[in-house]
Amino acid sequence: MKSPTERLASLDAFRGFDILVMIFVNYIAGMSGIPFFLRHAAADMDTFTLTDVVFPGFLFIVGVAIPLSLEKRLALGEPLGKILRRIVLRTAGLLFLGVLFVNENRYSEGATGMSRDLWYFLALLATVLLWMTYPRTDSRSKGRLYLWLRIGAAVLLFGLVIIWRGQNPDGTFSWLRHSWWGILGMIGWTYLAGSLFYLLAKGGRATLMGGLGFQVALYIGARHGVLDFLNPVNDFVQIGNIFGSHLAIVTAGMLVGTLFTPAGSGMKPKARIAWMAVFGSGLLATGFLLRPLHGFSKIHGTESYCLATSGLCLLLLLIFYWLMDVLKFRSWAAFLRPIGANPLLAYILPDIVRTLIDFGSNLFRLDLWKTVWPYWERGGGPGMLSAAGMTGVILLLTWALTRKKIILKI
């Protein structure tokens, strides 16, 4: 590596790989004839599958990126207040998008006065325009255009949220609300807690390691009623689950991230590889040692599941790092890196494509899904081939838009 703070090619590629798997398993969800290892394990099955490792992969990557981002800003002399403001705003954006997506199934066209496809298409379009990184320009006219696009997107999104109505289980209607925070919301909470913890710890590995142990204990205590006195808070955000086991995944990632900051500048690649191998194996082994307590469960976010999947993610990242940043063998993952550098766009593109296809189906009174995805109902091998094709389309779109500098950053 040229410097301890340069962008890790392996991290972008690993993030792109995680997104690829996420899109594929989302497209095969609900199909018949799908192998068990590609389906989510039920909450009480005491196991996890390949699909169940995707979300921990995102949290782990967030953790690795936190030290790289914060140390870079601190090295540039950015004031702490500005850093904290950026963290809070990014968290708020992730929480908002998380709530937006988890309420989609409650959407009421009659109460809102707008078709669901149109509402979510406009909301996704506004999201892209609001959080897109516009190119730097010395032209005043272009600068004003970019500013008005952001303002227009914010006004549109605000208006859409105001008119949104969803149906509750009892038949009543309400505005957007959180039942759970969704994938993006959980990433937001753990990103907030992880960033603040890293700043307080000043990147110290001993402190971070101690925090990891406390977070595991926090989840275990919550499972056994120790945090019941905080039930009003738990009803809003589950402390043991979010700030315990899931934050532990982020903290594990932060510990790895410190290897590539100025604090780890004296480490040679071989030492980093050895550290990552030992730590990853230790996380995996600890997950299995704690398994008798609550078992492996993605739904419950058990401590054993989170530790074991953290270990797997780290060992996989180790392979990417060895190939791409040590051996400099990067051409094989060239298609993954632009996708990994633009994860939010890749996350919402399937929803945009779905909305457009639904639009077209309603407009032309045709089932366009059978045209673009002919074997979904059949399932099995043909269905998975169709899902692979759809995944390829999303990845190609993400790659093309990223090359055109259409990048979303909260």
Long-range contacts for 223-231 (Cβ within 8 Å, ≥24 apart)? 223/294
pLDDT number for residue 266: 76
Which whole number is the average pLDDT over 346-359? 87
pLDDT number for residue 5: 52
The C-alpha angle 211, 253, 297, rounded to 5 degrees, equals 80
The average confidence (pLDDT) of the chain is 90
Domain tally, the chain: 1
Domain membership of residue 115 (yes or no) is no
pLDDT number for residue 7: 66
pLDDT number for residue 16: 93
The answer, yes or no, to whether residue 3 has pLDDT greater than 50, is: no
Determine how many CB atoms are found less than 10 A away from the CB of residue 117. Answer: 19
Of how many residues is the chain composed?
Answer: 410
Domain membership of residue 142 (yes or no) is no
Domain membership of residue 339 (yes or no) is no
Task: For residue 159, name the pLDDT band (cuts at 50, 70, 90).
Answer: very high
Task: For residue 4, name the pLDDT band (cuts at 50, 70, 90).
Answer: very low
Give the C-alpha separation, 253 to 307, whole Å: 11
Q: Which domain holds residue 56?
A: 9-77+203-329+350-391
Instruction: Evaluate whether 9 touches 340 at the Cβ level (below 8 Å).
Output: no
pLDDT number for residue 224: 94
Using the Cα atoms of residue 302, residue 303, residue 304 and residue 308 in order, give the sign of their dihedral: positive
Contacts of 83 (CB under 8 A, 6+ apart): 70, 73, 74, 199
The answer, yes or no, to whether residue 1 has pLDDT greater than 60, is: no
Provide φ and ψ at 173, rounded to 5°: -120, 150
Domain membership of residue 358 (yes or no) is yes
Domain membership of residue 47 (yes or no) is yes
Domain membership of residue 270 (yes or no) is yes
Amino acid at residue number 69? S
The answer, yes or no, to whether residue 342 has pLDDT greater than 80, is: yes
Kindly report, residue by residue over 191-213, the tens digit of the pLDDT.
999 999 999 999 999 999 999 99
Domain membership of residue 48 (yes or no) is yes
Kindly report, residue by residue over 30-39, the tens digit of the pLDDT.
888 889 999 9
Q: What is the pTM of this model?
A: 0.92
Task: For residue 2, name the pLDDT band (cuts at 50, 70, 90).
Answer: very low
pLDDT number for residue 378: 75
Kindly report, residue by residue over 22-65, the tens digit of the pLDDT.
999 998 888 888 899 999 999 889 999 999 999 999 999 999 99
The C-alpha angle 400, 50, 274, rounded to 5 degrees, equals 90
The C-alpha angle 300, 304, 307, rounded to 5 degrees, equals 110
Give the C-alpha separation, 183 to 177, whole Å: 15
Domain membership of residue 64 (yes or no) is yes
Q: Which helix (H) or strand (E) is 173 found in, with range?
A: strand 173-174
